[in-house]
Chains A and B, each alone.
Chain A
Amino acid sequence: MKSQPIDTYASELAEDVRRAVADGSASGYDRRAASLFSDFEDPDFLRRTAGDVKQHTLENLDTYLAQTEDRLKENGVEVHWAGDAEAACRAVLKIMRDNGATKVVKSKSMATEEIHLNDFLEREGIESLETDLGEFIVQIDHDHPSHIVKPIIHKNRQGIARSYEREGLGAYDDRPEVITARARKFLRKKYLEASVGLTGANFIVAESGRLVLVTNEGNSRFCLAGTDIHIAVVGIEKVIPRDRDLSLFLSLLGRSATGQQLTVYTEFISGPRAEGQPDGPRQMHVILLDNRRTEVLASNCRDILRCIRCGACLNVCPIYRQASGHAYRSVYPGPVGAVLSPLLAGEKFSELADLPKASSLCGACKEVCPVNIPIPDLLLRLRDKAKHEGIKSPGTPPMGGWAYLASQPTVWRASLSAGRLMNLMPLNLIPVPALRAWTKSRQLPEWRGGAFRKWMKTRKIGGKDS
């Protein structure tokens, strides 16, 4: 029997990639944690409050979406609704065709990754260029981002320098400042050639219709300074009720993502450019995207829609650090992806049903999540869903024998003393194929079965020692 797919990925990962991902996700952890824990007396209260604001919004999303649409329209924004990926892509294309536009510059957006917008536009003969440095490199390599915040965490400078050479961006030079400067030079021409700037949104405020975008590089600002039309593709779960919520969310997002009090550029966009402003879009369109978010909303895992895509849960996850983002075979990797991706897969749920199982439920993700999402609980609910739907994932150790033992007291007791044999058994020789695959990359702790029972028996009632 095969290993769990995520184990296969992890074991086939090239050593330099494994190192890059492990180091990259661990680095900055102290700074991120310190920026929350030394700046606030009770950071957990912040996380719980932010979580409640988003949960409240989701549970009243019908009201808030209607309000958002009204405000956007009042602000002079055209609002489009897209039920699925295809509809969203078509909406973008239609706006472009209506305006005779053929070139798009894009700032980083998970929603457009999700709907595979670049591939779609390319097939329609439209040049769609990523401008975030990491995403740009992913695009020229025909690769996929492997982290929500650090898309090329799996690449090293040598590889990037070779890609640049291949693409005619300059002779081999792997200094990060040269890599960055060459992208700067190449992309600034492109911003001015394109007529459409495409973005996502980190938040959209229902009471004001404000779109909030955060970047460190400033590429989204450039996308909205050089072009004539702004199109934003925004998941319907990005809504927050009021402007007053922004101070809290921005504070948490910057700190959780990169340990910054604020990201360098925080943009509040509520319409086309002001009168008298010579640069920037004269038209603004917002495409509100469902793409199965309403299914998630209807499920018992709706809490995952609170996610503000900070990437903190990826950085702390022991599985992510070992396996890298591509092991999750979907747009959203790591703990958030292990919940969200199978749900967004719809009828293909079974293909990703192994992801919720690839977790030791250590809880690190829940501890760092700025919106306090109970990720381990949600993973368990998805395991339950898979079980109820009779979905078997390759490589999951069979638990039937254990279930039998655990439900028969006498057999359980007998097996406890026999269990000591386990210490002497070479685990990789266990004649159960799935278990063998599962233990190949894992060490079991020494068997100490029965100790607890003995302790219980000899313990004095109300006594201090046993």
Chain B
Amino acid sequence: MNNDREAILKRVGEAVGGLADRTPYPSFRNDLGVSTARSLDGDLWEIFCERFVAVNGMPVETPDAMVEYLKTFGYTHGYCDPALRESLAPFFDSGFTLEESFDRQDIDRYQFGITRAHAAIAETGSVVVTDRLTSSRLAALAPWVHIACITRDEIIRDTVAAVADLGDDPNVVWITGPSKTADVEGILIEGVHGPGIQICLLL
């Protein structure tokens, strides 16, 4: 394999070594890829909500509203990040079962998963989750409903700021709506492998 390394790098060197004038790295504004069509001025939570809804995400402003929603649709058994339990448990009544560990032998037992998110991106309506803040990758992915929790001051304006914020976490995911596919005849279906309902809860 190390032979391959030397051989490949040698071939690359030979392929580009003789190029007379190489294309320079172009100069461009950091935010070139950020759409200018819609304004990002104003309350970032409001903007985030509008864009998150546009990708079929569901922003929720209070724990009460979240519990109400879960109850209405009969999602009564779920996982809750132990770090969030203290603040959220009081909102759930006795009809709910909240587990603090996620059993990988029986992942379909959990109808919802509540985890802490790192941020949200207003421009694209995305929730940002990181490995260090997510208490369980599986709990944030396997249940039908995922509830990602953020605070108001964690909302980032655009993808440029979000890239600058990637830091050294080994696994950062921008989640822009529920899991979806259009593989079968181009028809949109939500909830393929991951959540069919993606909620962002404001703490």
Interface residues of A (CB under 8 A from B): 20, 23-24, 27-28, 38-41, 45-46, 48-49, 52-53, 55-56, 58-62, 65-66, 75, 80-83, 87, 91, 131-134, 137, 150-152, 156-157, 160, 176-177, 179-181, 183-184, 187-188, 191-192, 208, 210, 216-219, 221-222, 224-226, 236, 241, 243-244, 246-252, 258, 260-274, 276-280, 288, 290, 294-295, 297-298, 302
Contacts and interface: CB of A to CB of B under 8 A. Distances in A.
B34 A247 contact: yes
Contacts of A80: 1
A222 B137 CA distance: 9
A88 to B, nearest CB: 9
A187 B174 CA distance: 23
B151 interface: no
12 contacts: A24-B185, A39-B35, A41-B36, A59-B23, A180-B184, A184-B192, A192-B104, A217-B194, A222-B193, A224-B137, A226-B138, A267-B172
A267 B179 CA distance: 13
A297 B14 CA distance: 9
Contacts of B111: none
Given A179-B184, A252-B33, A270-B168, A62 B13 contact: yes
Chain B: number of interface residues, binned into ranges: 35 or more
A225 B34 contact: no
Contact of B189 (A39, A180, A277): A180
A288 B179 CA distance: 29
Nearest to A180: B189
A263 to B, nearest CB: 7
For the complex of A and B, list the 9 residue pairs with the smallest distance between their C-beta atoms, beginning with the closest.
Answer: A218-B194, A251-B33, A294-B11, A298-B15, A248-B33, A39-B35, A274-B131, A279-B137, A134-B183
B136 interface: yes
B7 interface: yes
Residue of B34, B104, B180, B195 contacting most chain A CB atoms (<10 Å): B180
B136 A279 contact: yes
Contact of A131 (B33, B131, B193): B193
A126 to B, nearest CB: 19
B124 A217 contact: no
B33 A56 contact: no
Contacts of B26: 48-49, 52-53, 56
A176 B189 contact: yes
Given A224-B171, A247-B33, A277-B131, A264 B177 contact: yes
Interface string B1-35: 11011011101111111010011111010111111
B8 A81 contact: yes
Interface in B164-198: 164, 166, 168-187, 189, 191-195
Nearest to B177: A264
A273 B5 contact: no
B168 to A, nearest CB: 7
B174 A83 contact: no
B60 interface: no
Nearest to A84: B4
A217 B12 contact: no
Contact of A241 (B25, B138, B177, B180): B25
Contacts of B150: none
B184 A62 contact: no
A266 B184 contact: no
A192 B176 contact: no
B173 A225 contact: no
Given A152-B184, A222-B194, A267 B173 contact: yes
A28 B12 CA distance: 38
A273 B171 contact: yes
Contacts of A236: 8, 12
A252 B28 CA distance: 15
